[in-house]
Structure 1
Amino acid sequence: MDALTGLLDGARARGAFLVRSVLDPPWSLLVRDRAPLTVLTPLRGEAWVVPDAGEAARLRPGDVALLRGPDPYRVASSPELPPTVVIHPGDRSATVGGEELCERLRLGARSWGGGSAEGTVLVTGTYHADAAVGRRLLTALPALAVVPAEAGEGSLVSLLGWEITRDEPGQEVFLDRLLDLVVVSSVRAWFTRSGSAAPGWYSAAGDPVVGPALRLLHDRARENWTVAALAAEVGVSRATLARRFTELVGEPPMSYLTDWRLSLAADLLRGSTATLEVVARRVGYGSAFALSTAFRRERGMSPREFRRAGGRAAG
């Protein structure tokens, strides 16, 4: 397992909010839903994304925008337009004055807006749950990343646009997986583009020393690793591995392993009823006490507090 696979594998949509908006220009939406990750792509017409801080970006049909929350942003037919609609947490839409719009502008299955047959068609996919295993990935992304249509996977976007209004058995799960594929494709395209500021762990995956070490840590996280043991598996000296890993990844091997183990633990705490002792053993800690100590130190709360909070950590 490479680092990107491991991180993306845990960031899976579960009942993600997906909507097809049909809008006649001029239009402007202020989004305040505080979602950790949002995907925007126009199927017809153009749109501008205006982050709370930073430059506006123009989206053409097939372009994919990844927005890292929780800061608000605007989506509009022109970047200077003031908002007329506000999207609140819980996917609630209202006018700036507070009038509810969800029911009034409903256009059928997962469709919303007041546009005509010639209006802009915008698909929005929102991950509402914090994906702990994707935390490192989210922090590696800018507040707004735009992947041009020619650099991404246009067939996935087209399929998502086709399927979003269908109402078939199992459709929610099908759309979740399609949204995940659009995200994976877009993240890969973003990190590999010319002049990319890809995170160290992504660039280091191809290094002959650090790449194998990263795969070992991801594949066998529960083992009792030391830098010396990891270096022996890779076939280099302890000093060489420690120096090269830190240079390329930006942190020492054992720090990286700790963060990965705690991310795996957080995902298990959120997605299962396993006891702390079982979770600890699965991710490489000798006891529930050892896991709790590390979790509180790095995440700002105990595993039990994290579970009671619905899997939302302070860190």
Structure 2
Amino acid sequence: MDVVSGLLDGPRARGAFLLRSHLTAPWGMRIEDGAPLTIIPVLRGSAWVGPATAGGHDAVDHGVVVESGDVVLLRGPEHYVVADSAETRPTVAVGPTDECRAIDGGPSPMTVFGVRSWGNDLQGETVIITGTYPLGGAVGRRVLTALPHRVVLRRGDVDSTIVDLLAREVVQDLPGQEAVLDRLLDLLLITCLRAWLDHPQAPGWYRADADPAIGAALRLIHHDPAHPWSVESLAHEVRLSRAAFARRFQALVGEAPMAYLTGWRIDVAADMMLADDTATLASIARAVGYSSPFALSAAFTRVRGLSPTEHRRRGA
């Protein structure tokens, strides 16, 4: 599989938090949930999104204005502010368990309007959806690491039919609704990632996929991590000398071939551990190219800084 497919393969969104907000200015929300990734489509009106610092912005990051049709990706766990403008101070704070409190200690200006719907005015000029994505799939760690803290995709970058469908379904309460919303959030995330990866700031491993030789080598690694790949064998497969292959791989991907292979194997192993808690470490080791569970455990601990057992415990 390629890295983008791997992002949502295995542990997918389960019970993701989704909320449709109806707002009339002035309004401001400080989000303190620490979610690893948040998706905010703007359905109507406009909003300002920026860091949760004093005054709503700082000298380095002045935030960004987003309008109808735009979608924002926010990589956590940093807190952030969503408001009608940069000058509006937040009046409510949303915590890690989705509780909402008024910042001044008084009553909250927000009202629950129905299923996954709230705000300060049901007929408000601004409507946004907030989806917090509980990313458990470790293969997606490469994408998260590459993502900047904030990605803004403008109208036309993302298929509006997906956003429209999510907007309709988020306020429904039908059988299987949670599963429907989780899958729609998956689909929107993949669509956003595709749009972002088409931009010049895409990570090296994505741009390298277009190179005939290095792209082929990456696909060999992705499709068969259990194979005993070496620099020599990969170079032979793509018909380059060992030295030329190693130089080109390093230049395009940003790391050496064996370092990339190790990282991919560990990411796939981590994903498998969370996807099936009955899978033994021995079976996972075989699937990703390690001779024994001990070899996998040692490599996993060296790369991740925690043991496979601890990784599984945290994932659970």
Whether 1:212 aligns to 2:199 is no
Q: Equivalent residue for 2:161?
A: 155
CA shift in 2, pair 1:170/1:307, >3 Å: same
Whether 1:16 aligns to 2:20 is no
Whether 1:275 aligns to 2:276 is no
Q: Equivalent residue for 1:32?
A: 32
Letter in 2 for 1:66: L
CA distance in 2, matches of 1:158, 1:76: 22
Q: How large is the RMSD of aligned CA atoms in angstroms?
A: 1.8
The Cα offsets for residues 54-104 of structure 1, whole Å up to 9 and x where unpaired, read as 2311111110000000001000001121110101001111111456859x7
Please point out which of 162, 170, 181 is paired with 2:187. 181
Name structure 1 gaps, 5 residues minimum: none
Q: Equivalent residue for 1:63?
A: 70
Shift, 1:11, TM fit: 6.8
CA distance in 1, matches of 2:157, 2:132: 22
Q: Among all aligned residue pairs of Structure 1 and Structure 2, give the percentage whose two residues are the same amino acid.
A: 51
Q: Equivalent residue for 2:113?
A: 107
Q: Equivalent residue for 2:129?
A: 123
* Pairs within 5 Å for 1:224-303: 224-273=228-277, 274-303=279-308
Paired residues of 2:32 and 2:79 also in contact (CA < 8 A): yes
CA distance in 1, matches of 2:274, 2:142: 17
Shift, 1:129, TM fit: 4.0
TM-score normalised by L of structure 2: 0.92
Paired residues of 1:11 and 1:133 also in contact (CA < 8 A): no
Whether 1:307 aligns to 2:288 is no
CA distance in 1, matches of 2:170, 2:44: 15
Q: Equivalent residue for 1:144?
A: 150
Shift, 1:120, TM fit: 1.6
TM-score normalised by L of structure 1: 0.92
Q: Equivalent residue for 1:54?
A: 61
Paired residues of 1:10 and 1:133 also in contact (CA < 8 A): no
CA distance in 2, matches of 1:130, 1:32: 20
Paired residues of 1:30 and 1:86 also in contact (CA < 8 A): yes
Paired residues of 2:4 and 2:140 also in contact (CA < 8 A): no
Paired residues of 1:28 and 1:74 also in contact (CA < 8 A): yes
Please point out which of 183, 199, 202 is paired with 1:198. 202
Name structure 2 gaps, 5 residues minimum: 53-59
